[in-house]
A = this chain, B = another copy of it.
Amino acid sequence: MADEVRTGVPRRGPTISDVASRAGVDRAVVSRILNDDPRLRIKPSTRERVLAVVAELGYQPNAAARSLRTARTRTIALLVPDFENPAYGQIIKGAETAATKADSALLTASMELGEESFEHYAKQLGNGRVDGLLLAGGGITGTREEHLDRLGPPWLCVNRTGPGKRRYVVLDDERATELAVSHLLELGHTRVAFLSGPADSDTAERRRLGYIAAMEAANLDPGFVAHGDYTADGGAAGMQQILAAKRRHTAVLVANVASAVGALYAARQAGVHVPDDMSVISIHDLSIAAFLDPPLTTVRMSLSGLGARAVDLLLTRPRNEEIREVLEQPIDLIIRESTAPPRR
């Protein structure tokens, strides 16, 4: 048992019986009124009397009792790898809005990749705590999938896919990278490097593929690919590799904004001027991008839209149906000052 907690006696609010007796009706009547039971035939005056008592007492149906009876919790969980990353903040925001519309609450938790952490959440979320599970971020291997399936609630991966995955929603990262590359090519660049995310990240891989496809479509050789880790630190290290590569590049496509912050820093340290010596463009747009030095050109996709769509899919699709969705949404190029034509 956990540490004893002494927050005093938990106070219970008024119950449906309180409302019923005060209004002089059966509990069933109260329940049916509040749930808009279509089979209920009742005098308008009785209905009003009941609603008046509900308002007077401030009655709220007890969530535990309700979900015990109905086997639904009106809560869904969203596991993210890192709350400090504003990109996940956007996903959470969108998910929350959608959950609210569906009259549900959102339970968020951060899941690191460790085994204990996974076990912990499996325990917390098992059996009746949530109606469904959204997994943003990686680490969902085959054995874990089975574990999740045994857990009970339906689940869905957000912005992660993979060969064996049956249920996921992702952004159209390939189209985003193609848009970024074509911007660079239109400016006249031909030697474009790619600063990727972690090697095991699925979004990073999809962005890499989009980059390669776009380069090859233009009959250009793909350039250097450096691996970062989606942090400013990793972005700085990746940029150093690119600057040290045998082949000189005139532009870099960076896989996310945090990495781009690091990449710009490393360029500055190396005395490489952006955009005159080197153009930098990033996938995703965050509010700080406009205030970097120089202001960062980005490709904007709606992460909040992704979060919202994930919730909708989770709540409306049958539990075992396959879901393999690439989100269709506008993808915009936000041109700022970190990209320019290459100096000849």
Contacts and interface: CB of A to CB of B under 8 A. Distances in A.
Interface of A: 1-3, 5-8, 10-13, 35-36, 58, 60-65, 67-68, 71-73, 75, 82-86, 88-90, 92-93, 96, 100, 102-103, 105-110, 120, 123-124, 126-129, 131-132, 150, 152, 154, 231-233, 236, 258, 261-262, 264-265, 268, 286-288, 290-293, 295, 314-320
A8 B1 CA distance: 34
A131 to B, nearest CB: 7
Given A1-B35, A93-B110, A102-B2, A232 B288 contact: yes
B3 A126 contact: no
A81 to B, nearest CB: 11
A288 B293 CA distance: 13
Contact of A100 (B12, B120, B292): B120
Contacts of A82: 89
Given A64-B67, A128-B63, A109 B96 contact: yes
A90 B258 CA distance: 16
Stoichiometry, copies per complex = 2
Which among A1, A13, A63, A291 has the highest number of chain B CB atoms within 10 Å? A291
A13 B105 CA distance: 22
Contact of A96 (B13, B73, B110, B319): B110
Which among A107, A132, A317, A318 has the highest number of chain B CB atoms within 10 Å? A107
Nearest to A66: B64
Given A2-B102, A293-B293, 17 more contacts: A3-B102, A6-B316, A7-B131, A7-B315, A10-B71, A11-B319, A12-B152, A60-B126, A60-B128, A64-B68, A75-B107, A83-B83, A84-B89, A93-B110, A96-B110, A265-B291, A292-B293
A232 B1 CA distance: 46
